[in-house]
Structure formats: structure tokens, C-alpha cells
Structure 1
Amino acid sequence: MRFEPTFLVTATFAADAAVRREPHRQAHLARVESLLADGTALLAGARADLGASVLVLRAADAGAARELCEQDPYWRHGVWTAIEVADYLAAVPPPDGRS
């Protein structure tokens, strides 16, 4: 196994996120899908209590991970009110699939 620079991001929802997110949901989901497809995001979803989105992102550093989130429609339109970025040790298999 090897470890890549990855970050656990928790993006807190606004109290009125259920209403606020609706006009921006499709754009947000398209962005997340793109990040998953190109390998930038390893995981994306929400806490079961819907208090926050949770992402595991590949990025050069914590600032780059934050910037990726700040480009999201949910941040730009106030659906997310805070973004917390923490170093995360994502174990990934070697490129050739061997350990």
C-alpha cells in the first residue's frame, strides 16, 4: 500500500439548506460527479443526519482541497456555511494492482 496526499473535508450545511440547496443541487451533483470521475474525489456524500457533506479529496495540500470546495455551487450560494479540511491517510493500491 501507498499513501497519497488526501484530505477529509466536512462542509457544514446552513440551517435552511434543504430550501437553499434546491436551485443549486444539480450543478453541485454534476461537479461532484466530475471530481469522482477524474479521481480528484475518492468519496463524496453526506452525514446521515444531513448536517454536513463529507468528501475525501486528492489535492496537493489542504489549501488546494479547500479551494476545490470553495468552487462548488453549494459554497458559492451559502448552502455550506463552513469547510473543515483535515489530513487523511487514504491507502491506495499501487498503480499496477500489486502490493
Structure 2
Amino acid sequence: MPKYVMWGSYCEDVLEKRAPYREAHLEGLAKQKESGVLITIGPTKDITKVFGIYEAEDEATVRQLVEADPYWQNRIWTEYTVKEWIQAL
């Protein structure tokens, strides 16, 4: 199954703004991880970018997951890109 890399950006004052949505966000990610579609995801140390790796049927599936996330719906993530990734090793 293809793998995809997602890169995105966080809003300003992310630590304060994400608080109301954090629990639902983490619960959703845990379900994705359990199902096998999400391999890993997390912020950069400076909390300006988010990086994730997905294993999915197609790019549209990854985009649906990202856009259903509370962080996207509430503008905690402000933009993102998805690229198919070829794992060399």
C-alpha cells in the first residue's frame, strides 16, 4: 500500500489555541494508528510545523483524515501538503 508524507503549519499561539481540541485530536490519531493508516505524526520541536506518515489507499484518503481532524477544522493547522513517499530503506 502507498505511503504518504503530510507537512503542515500550526497557527500562532498554538499551545493556547489547541487546548479545547487536543483531547479529541489525540483520540482521533490513536484510532488512525490502531487501524494502521497512521504510522507516525508529531510537531517540530518549535511547534511551527506538523509532520506525519500515512499508509493509505490513496492521497484522497489522507486528505480526508487531515481535514476531519479537529486541528484542521478549528484552524490549529493552517495549511498542509500531502506527497506520496517512496520508502527506500
2-structure distance, mates of 1:17, 1:41? 22
| Cα distance, 1:49 vs structure 2 | 1.8
The TM-score, its normalising length taken from structure 2, stands at 0.89
The answer to whether the aligner puts 1:69 opposite 2:66 as a matched pair is yes
The one of 9, 12, 17 aligned to 2:14: 17
Q: 1:39 aligns with which of 26, 36, 41?
A: 36
8 Å contact kept, 1:10–1:83:
yes
Aligned residues: 89
Q: Given residue 66 of structure 1, which amino acid in structure 2 is its aligned partner?
A: R
Identity of aligned residues (%): 27
- Structure 2 unaligned residues grouped into runs of 5+: none
Deviations 1:24-77 (A, max 9, x none): 001101111111111010111111221122110112222221111000000011
Considering fraction of residues, name the structure with more strand. 1
**What TM-score comes out, normalization by structure 1 length?**
0.81
Unpaired segments of 5 or more residues in structure 1? 93-99
Q: Bigger radius of gyration, 1 or 2? A: 1
Q: Would the aligned equivalents of 1:45 and 1:54 in 2 still touch at CA under 8 Å?
A: yes
Quote the RMSD (CA, aligned, Å). 1.6
Looking at structure 1, the residues matched to 88 and 60 of structure 2 have their Cα atoms a distance apart, in angstroms, of 21
Which amino acid counterpart does residue 86 of structure 2 have in structure 1? L
